[in-house]
Amino acid sequence: MRSTTDPTLKVAIASERRELADVFDALRAEDWNAPSLCAGWTVREVAAHMSMGFRLSLPATLGELLKARGSLHRMTDRVARRDAAAHSAAELGAFLRDHADHPWTPPVGGLPAALGHDVVHGLDITTALGLDRRVPEDRLRVLLDGTRPRGLKFFGVDLTGVRLCAQDMDWSYGSGTDPVYGAAQDLLLLTFGRHLPPGHLHGEAAPRFTTR
């Protein structure tokens, strides 16, 4: 896995944010209220969440965490819903574009985690909407090569008996005998606990990670 301070990741993060801002600008009005792959959130709420780290100062973030009685999950959910209602679609896209070079990173994981935050939430939107956006392979490889049992456990992913096999790049993970095949970016979503629409994954174990 890349160093958590690798400067080339800053370029990848900025490019991902600008590209996603262009995607957001092209969405139809009805797309913003469609469900995303991030359970319980609409496209608009995911987009609002993506820029939270840019817009909230540390004191403001700590204040929101205090309101949520220390629960990061409750805090991010509340802020995403509030900000989704407060900002227009144009503003949500502009937040990403205007802060493409912002140095924000999640509490742990450094730059790879920041890249993962942008890529996965972007896929939460584009995959749910059926948009044919392909994340560049170099960005996917950073994230896929960083797959670890601890991360899978955090997102509630059980790969017992399963081996993930990318069909569009040289990557696999796991030692199980039941392969799950799919595009690399779909397998990335799987490792982050997402259930994908039918037709994205193939193999005997695929139904375990597919929406019903």
Q: What is the 3-state secondary structure (H, E, C) of the chain?
A: CCCCCCHHHHHHHHHHHHHHHHHHHCCCHHHHHCECCCCCCEHHHHHHHHCHHHHCCHHHHHHHHHHCCCCHHHHHHHHHHHHHHHCCHHHHHHHHHHCCCCCCCCCCCHHHHHHHHHHHHHHHHHHHHCCCCCCCHHHHHHHHCCCCHHHHHHCCCCCCCEEEEECCCCCEECCCCEEEEECHHHHHHHHCCCCECCCCEECCCHHHHECC
Q: What's the average model confidence in pLDDT over 127-142?
A: 97
Tell whether the model's pLDDT for residue 189 goes beyond 80. Answer: yes
Name, in order, each residue with C-beta under 8 angstroms of 26's C-beta and a sequence gap of 6 or more: none
Summarize pLDDT for 142-184 with one digit per residue, the tens: 999 999 999 999 999 999 999 999 999 999 999 999 999 999 9
Q: Which residue is associated with the tokens 């796991």?
A: 174
How far is residue 52's CA from residue 82's CA, in Å, rounded to a whole number? Answer: 11
Q: Looking at residue 2, what is its pLDDT?
A: 57
What phi, psi does 147 have (nearest 5°)? -60, 130
Summarize pLDDT for 19-29 with one digit per residue, the tens: 999 999 999 99
Q: How many CB atoms lie within 10 A of CB 54?
A: 15
How does residue 69 score in pLDDT terms, banded at 50, 70 and 90? Answer: confident
Summarize pLDDT for 82-113 with one digit per residue, the tens: 999 999 999 999 999 999 999 999 888 899 99
C-alpha gyration radius of the chain: 17
Q: Looking at residue 62, what is its pLDDT?
A: 84
Which of 2-6, 18-22, 38-42 bottoms out in mean pLDDT, i.e. has the lowest? 2-6
Q: Looking at residue 142, what is its pLDDT?
A: 96
Average pLDDT, the chain: 94
How does residue 59 score in pLDDT terms, banded at 50, 70 and 90? Answer: confident
Tell whether the model's pLDDT for residue 38 goes beyond 80. Answer: yes
Domain boundaries of the chain, sorted by first residue: 7-142, 147-209
Tell whether the model's pLDDT for residue 130 goes beyond 70. Answer: yes
Q: What's the average model confidence in pLDDT over 28-45?
A: 97
